[in-house]
Amino acid sequence: MKKSLWRIGIILMKELIRRCVRCRVDRKKICYVGAILTIVGLVFQMFSFPYSLNVWFLTPPVTISSYVSFNGTISLNEVLSEARAEQIQLVAAAPIVSANSSTKLIQPMPDEPKRVMSPVRRKSKPTRKKKNVKVGGKSEVLPPPPPPRKTMPSCFQRHIWSFSPNEALVYAKKEIEHAPVVVDDPDLFIPLFQNVSVFKRSYELMEMILKVFIYPDGARPIFHQPHLRGIYASEGWFMKLMEANRQFVTRDPEKAHLFYLPYSARQLERALYVPESHNMKPLSIFLRDYVNLIAAKYLFWNRTHGADHFLVACHDWGPYTVTEHEELTKNTIKALCNADRSEGIFVAGKDVSLPETTVRTPRRPLRNVGGNRVSKRPILAFFAGNMHGRVRPTLLKYWSDKDEDMKIYGPLPTKVSRKMSYVQHMKNSRYCICPMGYEVNSPRIVEAIYYECVPVIIADNFVLPFSEVLDWSAFSVVVAEKDIPKLKEILTAIPLRRYLKMQINVKMVQKHFLWNPRPIRYDLFHMILYSIWFNRLNQIQIPNS
């Protein structure tokens, strides 16, 4: 039947062409022939297509959702039939779970996800650019996956939230000890981490469990007034973002796992220090009296003797302002830029090394972030800065005006800065020298990361930021102070292949050192909070029972 209809159509088409060529056709005959061809085409469709005409003519083209491809057991015919049924409101898509859900490693997943009914959306939303994917040898146009839905907390989450703060910390520590192995993760670059499996599991538990109580006591400018500009801006930015946070902050101190002392060491110095007096004792006494005040007013300090309390101080004097209060010095978690293990105040494993970040424009903290590719970095090593401390004069003694590849200056000369600014020097250098000043910390370390220049750190006894999490050997070079005379020899001995890996790693680690006006996962705000959370868990003892 099909072959006969096909032959009739071909004969009619040949006759029409022959008559048109000889100009022996009129309009009526053309209409008759067109009608006959239309009828033949409809009959041919009815007999040749497997679906009825109302399905083919009344529904839009069939598209296959991208999430179907994850199930390799579904055949193409089943997918097509399900997609068409979905268009006539007979079948709905499977429920979507957010990729960032913190419960996915706790709750066992069923072997076969069940399909549930979902209403068809009336309002259309703008979609992303479609991708062409070959399915079964044919090119199919795939729409973007549906957005993740906000799900209610599971019974298991609500059960965890019912724990007391200490029970929740014990549970979290047990979970971290049995963290599932992470081989790959789209949000984390594994070569940067000491143990990415532990980090990921601990970070997810922090997002699910952690609550912080901020003491409302204290008057400005020392308390609750963040300083957002300059080299000590880290403490101010953390305060600003912490006090505005809704995910981790609680107003109920009974539910808190950590307690934040919201003062600024920079504002403390500006308000109380007498210039040129070289006397920091008034600052220490003021902070001692503040801690005694909250210990007398609230019950929580005395419950742990300050072990679940923390402070964030980036000023060089941050460690020295706590010395008048014994429990504040020994028990409290201190996030300090001046993380010097040799002075006996900073305790590695309990305290947190705070990155020192220079913020020149508070409204645009990420200004100028980025750098040149390797082929456009003609300078081997660069440093410019004031002659503070014991290391910088030694660096200048051996390398200032000694080698064309080593651009080592004191304060950047005007004739040099007119041709190339300080930031441009860092963006055009392969290695950025980061020597300590009066103290072990230096804002150049984070600046080098911002400008994608491999940092060369010269500061004995300095505990590097987030060293409990990050593997600094993957993206930096640490040089002992005694090896400054061999600095170029050390740098040129690094193979090109290793340098290229380090430079790529600098770009990848950059996201963990950025201040975002609105914090995002794994950025600097979250990394600081995570380190405080992780070090608090280190103090928790798991009972034998």
**Number of domains comprising the chain:** 1
Residue-level pLDDT at 112: 41
Residue 412 pLDDT greater than 60, yes or no: yes
- The residue-averaged pLDDT of 331-353 equals 97
Is 0.85 surpassed by the pTM of this model? no
| pLDDT category of residue 393 using cuts at 50, 70 and 90 | very high
Q: Which is higher by pLDDT, 9 or 492?
A: 492
- Going 268 to 343 to 383 to 444, the CA torsion angle's sign is negative
H-type alpha helices, 210-264: 233-243
- The residue-averaged pLDDT of 216-226 equals 96
Residue-level pLDDT at 82: 43
Residue-level pLDDT at 272: 96
Per residue, what are the HEC states of 470-481?
ECHHHCCEECCH
Residue-level pLDDT at 63: 39
Q: Which is higher by pLDDT, 144 or 390?
A: 390
Residue 77 pLDDT greater than 80, yes or no: no
Q: Which residues span the domain enclosing 509?
A: 374-513
Q: What is the pLDDT of residues 138-175, one digit of tens each?
A: 444 444 444 444 444 567 677 787 899 999 999 999 99
Residue 370 backbone phi and psi in degrees, to 5: 125, 165
Residue-level pLDDT at 36: 79
Residue 309 pLDDT greater than 50, yes or no: yes
- The residue-averaged pLDDT of 132-137 equals 41
Residue 480 pLDDT greater than 60, yes or no: yes
Domain membership flag for residue 523: no
Residue-level pLDDT at 16: 66
Average pLDDT of the chain is: 83
Residue-level pLDDT at 337: 98
Q: What percent of the chain has pLDDT over 70?
A: 74
Q: Which is higher by pLDDT, 444 or 542?
A: 444
Residue-level pLDDT at 543: 84
Q: What is the pLDDT of residues 186-214, one digit of tens each?
A: 999 999 999 999 999 999 999 999 999 99
Domain membership flag for residue 508: yes
- The residue-averaged pLDDT of 4-15 equals 72
Strands 477-478 and 406-408: unpaired
Residue 234 pLDDT greater than 60, yes or no: yes
d(CA 323, CA 513): 29
Residue-level pLDDT at 8: 74
Domain membership flag for residue 466: yes
- The residue-averaged pLDDT of 458-482 equals 97
Query: Which neighbouring-strand residues pair with 408?
Result: 383
Residue-level pLDDT at 539: 94
- The residue-averaged pLDDT of 81-107 equals 37
Domain membership flag for residue 23: no
Domain membership flag for residue 183: no
Domain membership flag for residue 143: no
Residue-level pLDDT at 80: 36
3-class DSSP state of 311: strand
DSSP H or E stretch at residue 105: none
DSSP codes joined into one string, 148-202? PPP-PPPHHHHHHHTS-HHHHHHHHHHHHHTPPP-S--TT--GGGBS-HHHHHHH
Residue 472: CATH number of its domain: 3.40.50.2000
Residue-level pLDDT at 14: 77
User: Is-contact 419 379, C-beta < 8 A?
Assistant: no
| pLDDT category of residue 39 using cuts at 50, 70 and 90 | confident
Q: Which is higher by pLDDT, 376 or 154?
A: 376
Walk across the sheet containing 406-408 and list its strands: 406-408, 379-383, 429-435, 454-458, 477-478
H-type alpha helices, 351-400: 391-399
Residue-level pLDDT at 44: 61
Close Cβ partners of 369 (under 8 Å, ≥ 6 residues apart): 450, 451, 510, 514
Domain membership flag for residue 478: yes
Q: What is the pLDDT of residues 516-545, one digit of tens each?
A: 999 999 999 999 999 999 999 999 998 886
Residue-level pLDDT at 389: 94
d(CA 120, CA 122): 6
Residue 84 pLDDT greater than 60, yes or no: no
Domain membership flag for residue 407: yes
Residue-level pLDDT at 377: 97
